[in-house]
């Protein structure tokens, strides 16, 4: 009887531990999806604006499609990478401030990011102004380069929408108020579909109609976010415009620049491969096919960015609260969840690879080229689901500078040279370029996984606490409002 009693108590203890673990996973999953789902909705519908525009242009003519793909894949990705990366500094600082209970500092961090990102966007505008001469200088197809002139100018107002849209999204999601972003994004996508149909199909405005619709829809979302913040739905974190936004701005610039370089290296990596595709035989088909695959990958990447945001928010919030164990548990749950979704995307891509191409083009030649890349695309989708979570963890902890070096080595020392060798020397064409892309992502994912595994999270809690104390302003100092 005695032995049976001990065994029963041990079994009961195991059941309680199992129940406790299930309860923790369930609670953590709810916190993850509270951030991830609205962010996924916002990212997918936000990127959907670009995809819808490409789809409408693709049914006008192949040259406009290739020109749009070239400018969007090279110049817009470059600028978007910098501004998205710099905006992630807002996510790090606001997330840790929210976790530490310093809500009044979040509005200050947001305004500082507007200043830094606004200046950066203005510096980058000449890239679009001189897009055609740049494309000709690097030897791109003459007809495609000429067609890109009008398209590139239309991107300028769209880029300025990033300055406010991206930073406000980081600001809201760090305090778990990002459902409004998802709704605004969904409405803007519906608006864009209607306006694109009206301007391009019914009125026959071509490039002007498609790009005009894109800008109207993008700024509709930004204006909606302003209304939400200024309308009183962020009373604890937004205290009005303040002169304090200009104080201690250099540390924010430093963190923003390292963040910008980190994501720029990642997004520019794909852009360089599109550029290299322009030197292959039959450049119009190569660029169109490669760009379509990248857009499918990027669309799935928007889903993964939801988990990037969730991992960043959870890590930064728990570091701000000083809970290292919660950080480690959250990383495990988010990584497992995102990987499961990655496997689902992997299977779907293998099953419907060719059919995807017809959403973007009517050309059988382009569709066949896309079909040949579907296996490689499937592996890209799987890797996206893992490396984005690891990147989000590093952003939440403020490791953007370290990740910038990892991206530089993985992509530019390994990925691009491998792609060039296979694409040109081995004469594998766009298949070789995509294998090079995959090799860089594999190396990056392995290094990030090792880095996150080796991180001392108790030490990171101390560093986060010191950073918050160093930049903390008293609420009274934040009450001096500007105009």
pLDDT by position in tens, the chain (length 483): 444 444 444 444 444 455 578 888 888 888 888 888 888 888 788 878 888 888 888 767 778 778 888 888 778 877 887 887 777 778 778 887 887 778 888 888 899 889 888 998 999 999 999 988 988 887 777 888 888 888 899 999 999 998 999 899 889 988 878 788 888 989 999 999 999 999 988 888 888 898 999 999 999 999 999 999 998 888 888 988 888 778 777 777 777 777 677 777 776 776 677 677 767 666 667 777 777 787 788 778 878 888 888 888 888 888 888 888 888 899 999 999 999 999 999 998 888 766 777 776 667 777 777 777 888 888 989 998 999 899 889 888 878 778 888 888 898 899 889 988 988 888 887 788 888 888 998 999 999 999 989 888 888 888 877 767 766 666 544 444 444
Q: Is residue 394 part of a domain?
A: yes
- Of the candidates 59, 64, 57, the one whose C-alpha atom is nearest the C-alpha of residue 362 is 59
Q: Does residue 11 lie within any of the structural domains?
A: no
Q: What is the dihedral of CA 115, 116, 119, 124, to 10 degrees?
A: -150
Q: Torsion-angle region of residue 429: left (phi > 0), alpha (psi -120 to 50) or beta?
A: left
Cβ–Cβ under 8 Å, residues 360 and 295: yes
pLDDT of residue 15: 42
Q: Is residue 15 part of a domain?
A: no
Q: Please give the tally of structural domains in the chain.
A: 1
Measure the CA–CA gap between 448 and 308, rounded to whole angstroms. Answer: 13
Q: Is residue 5 part of a domain?
A: no
Domain with 45, as residue range(s), is 36-479
- How distant, in Å, are the alpha carbons of 104, 234, 448 from that of 239? 7, 8, 38
Q: Give me the pLDDT at residue 242, please.
A: 80
- The 3-class secondary structure across 17-68, one letter per residue, is HHHHHHHHHHHHHHHHHHHHHHHHHHHHHHHHHHHHHHHHHHCCCHHHHHHH
Residue 130: partners with Cβ closer than 8 Å, 6 or more residues away = none
Which residue from 263, 266, 298, 385 is spatially nearest to 69, judged by alpha carbons? 298
Q: Residues in the chain, how many? A: 483
Q: Are 436 and 416 in contact (CB under 8 A)?
A: yes
Q: Which long-range contacts (CB under 8 A, 24 or more apart) does 345-354 make?
A: 345/300, 345/303, 345/378, 345/381, 345/382, 345/385, 346/378, 346/379, 346/381, 346/382, 347/378, 349/296, 349/374, 349/377, 349/378, 349/381, 350/374, 350/375, 350/378, 353/377, 353/378
Determine the straight-line distance between the first and last CA of the chain, rounded to whole angstroms. Answer: 80
Asked whether residue 315 is assigned to any structural domain, the reply reads yes
Q: What is the pLDDT of residue 471?
A: 60
Residue 13 in domain: no
Please compute, for residue 108, the number of CA atoms within 13 A of its CA located in the half-sphere on the CB side.
28
Question: Is 417 within the bounds of a domain?
Answer: yes
Q: CA–CA separation, 100 vs 93, rounded Å?
A: 11
Residue 8: inside a domain: no
H or E element that contains 215: helix 206-228
């Amino acid at each position: 009887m005695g032995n049976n009693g001990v065994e029963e108590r041990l079994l009961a203890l195991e059941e309680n531990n199992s129940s406790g673990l299930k309860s923790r996973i369930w609670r953590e999953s709810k916190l993850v999806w509270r951030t991830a789902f609205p962010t996924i909705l916002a990212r997918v519908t936000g990127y959907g604006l670009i995809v819808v525009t490409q789809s409408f242009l693709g049914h006008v003519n192949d040259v406009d499609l290739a020109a749009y793909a070239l400018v969007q894949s090279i110049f817009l990705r470059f600028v978007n990478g910098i501004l998205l990366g710099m905006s992630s500094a807002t996510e790090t600082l606001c997330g840790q401030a929210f976790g530490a209970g310093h809500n009044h500092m979040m509005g200050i961090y947001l305004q500082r990011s507007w200043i830094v990102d606004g200046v950066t966007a203005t510096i980058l505008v000449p890239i679009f102004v001189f897009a055609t001469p740049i494309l000709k200088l690097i030897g791109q197809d003459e007809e495609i380069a000429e067609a890109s002139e009008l398209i590139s100018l239309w991107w300028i107002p769209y880029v300025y929408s990033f300055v406010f849209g991206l930073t406000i999204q980081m600001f809201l999601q760090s305090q778990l108020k990002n459902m409004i972003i998802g709704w605004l994004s969904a409405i803007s996508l519906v608006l864009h579909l209607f306006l694109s149909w009206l301007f391009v199909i019914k009125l026959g405005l071509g490039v002007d109609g498609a790009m005009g619709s894109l800008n109207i829809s993008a700024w509709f979302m930004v204006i909606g976010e302003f209304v939400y913040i200024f309308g009183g739905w962020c009373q604890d974190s937004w205290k009005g415009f303040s002169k304090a936004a200009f104080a201690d701005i250099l540390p924010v610039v430093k963190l923003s620049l390292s963040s910008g370089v980190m994501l720029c290296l990642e997004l520019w990596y794909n852009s360089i491969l599109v550029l290299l595709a322009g030197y292959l035989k039959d450049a119009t088909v190569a660029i169109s096919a490669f760009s379509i695959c990248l857009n499918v990958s990027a669309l799935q990447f928007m889903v993964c960015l939801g988990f990037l945001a969730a991992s960043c928010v959870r890590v930064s919030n728990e570091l701000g609260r000083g809970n290292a164990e919660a950080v480690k548990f959250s990383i495990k749950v988010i990584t497992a969840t995102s990987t499961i979704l990655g496997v689902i995307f992997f299977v779907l891509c293998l099953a419907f690879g060719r059919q995807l191409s017809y959403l973007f083009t009517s050309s059988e030649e382009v569709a066949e080229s896309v079909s040949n890349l579907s296996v490689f695309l499937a592996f890209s989708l799987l890797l996206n689901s893992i490396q984005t979570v690891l990147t989000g963890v590093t952003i939440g902890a403020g490791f953007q500078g370290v990740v910038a070096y990892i991206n530089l080595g993985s992509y530019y020392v390994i990925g691009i040279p491998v792609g060039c060798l296979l694409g040109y020397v081995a004469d594998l064409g766009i298949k070789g370029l995509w294998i090079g892309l995959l090799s860089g992502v594999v190396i990056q994912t392995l290094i990030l996984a090792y880095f996150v595994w080796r991180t001392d999270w108790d030490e990171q809690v101390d560093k986060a606490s010191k950073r918050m104390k160093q930049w903390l302003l008293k609420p009274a100092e934040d009450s001096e409002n500007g105009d």
